[in-house]
Amino acid sequence: MFSANDLVFLSAEKDLLDLGESLCQRDIWIISSDVRSAATQDFLSKILSAIQADLDRDALWAALEQDTKLNLNGALNMHRPKLILVFGLTAGQVGLRAEMGVYQSVFFYGCNWIFSDALAALEPDRNKKGLLWSALKSVNLS
């Protein structure tokens, strides 16, 4: 255990706006547990094309490293996206204290949220892709 001379410091939480890359013109935020690669970028581009959105132009994508603690408070206080897509992470892992089902569009904290399996698990599964597509269709991005 710790002695009286030991010091314990909490690790700083990361802010989403510091982790993401993109112009975000259509107010779509993507948070994933998948490592950034050409393959994951291509798959995300296909997902977004289904809702007439472009990954590079319309979305902010943050790929979280293992054990990264995310703080959405600062980002959400500065800006409210229309849609937040979360792949491979739970609500708790992105700093929310709420029950969120997968493949359901939930309006919470002024945003539409959709939680999904990790991109690597989603891509080969036709059924899960259909569930995601149904959830995406229910969101109005205009």
CATH number for the domain harbouring residue 42? 3.40.470.10
* Residue 18 pLDDT: 52
In a domain, 6, yes or no: no
In a domain, 51, yes or no: yes
pTM over 0.85? The answer is: no
Higher pLDDT, 5 or 94: 94
Confidence of residue 2 (pLDDT cuts 50, 70, 90): very low
**pLDDT tens readout for residues 24-77:** 677 899 999 988 899 999 999 999 998 999 998 999 898 887 677 777 777 787
| Per-position b or e across 38-72, b if 16+ CB within 10 A of its CB | eebbebbeebbeeeebebeebbbbbbbeeeeebeb
- Bridge partners (DSSP) listed for residue 61: 21, 30
In a domain, 49, yes or no: yes
Place of tokens 């897509």: 85
- At residue 110, φ and ψ (nearest 5 deg) are 80, 10
In a domain, 36, yes or no: yes
In a domain, 1, yes or no: no
- Please tell me the total count of domains within the chain: 1
